[in-house]
Structure 1
Amino acid sequence: MDAEMEELLAAIGPRLRSLRRDRGMTLAALSEATGISVSGLSRLESGLRRPTLELLIPIARAHRVALDQLIAAPATGDPRVHLTPLRRRAGSVLVPLTRYPGRLRVFKQVIAPCPRRLVAHDGYEWLFVLAGELLLVLGEREITLGPGEVAEFDTAEPHWFGPNGDRPVEILHIFGPQGDKARVRARPEGPPGHQD
């Protein structure tokens, strides 16, 4: 085995420990979630046990991250992302932008005109309009959003969204299945001397 591969494998244990600690998980909790013994996980994190797919796949699932996040796979040299659009009802397209199970799921959507049907379910949604006009119905309220505008709402409230009119609308859609919100940390700077 070459030195680069040895270095890649040696970095996995500390990365696993850091990920687990960042998520506030104990070895016992991770053991329960993965079916891997506490001692096996400890040896893996300390580099005393060689990482295998049989060990890494359950850990990736427990942390809800892509497997290549655990191993920091080297770049292939091709920066393109190959997304597979899913065709929906006539004219609508859904493109999943996250390709692994996670707390927040991100989609790009082109929504064709469709009948209103309010739904309610657990979760939290965040919608950003890229092009066209979006009509968002929340209970009794109707809100129209244009390009660059954002809406966020608890999906326990009956809701529906689609084009405002007879032309499709294009949006970015973030969904948190357990009510997780998208957190925006950056703020535009105000004029010099401006304070919040």
Structure 2
Amino acid sequence: MPSPQLTPRQVSWARRWMTLVLIGLFVFIIGVEPDLIGMDKSPVVGFVQVGVWLIGLALLLVGCYATVYVVRNGQPNSLRADIGLRFIATGYVVAAAASLADFIGLGAQSMPEISFGPIQVIGLVVGVILSLLGVVLYWPRRERPREKGSHRFPRIKLPSFRRRTERGETPNEKPNLDA
């Protein structure tokens, strides 16, 4: 069932949510590379820096979800869309767990000598990619126009009641296979 066009109010809300996406992207980039605005005061990655990029990623993903929710325009969620929603959430959890691994005791470093290592970078990248894949899966598909008479599955011809009665058989009789 194709969804109707978006109303001007829905377009306005989609633009607002896209603004949140851009703000989240900006905060995420500043968290990953604070030297872009002259805020890189430490040679190591600290808790505040990790918190900033996780907040930026959260804003980005919430904005993406809300924008696509508006664009879906009341369409029921398909299995594909449900998987996409779960990928968005799982990707964020993977990114957060990888980013905070040393702080929460999952990493290889102990608390006084924390460093953001290559495995944590891989975990962050995998989480972000998984979340973005979820957004793509959540995006509504366009309905393709079907040709008249085309079906998704081939039709199977079943024996009809009329054929059996034309041969002189009743519906409860077993068919005469010798004839």
- More helix by percentage: 2
Q: TM-score, normalised by structure 1?
A: 0.23
Task: Give the structure, 1 or 2, with the largest relative contact order (CA under 8 Å, sep 6 or more).
Answer: 2
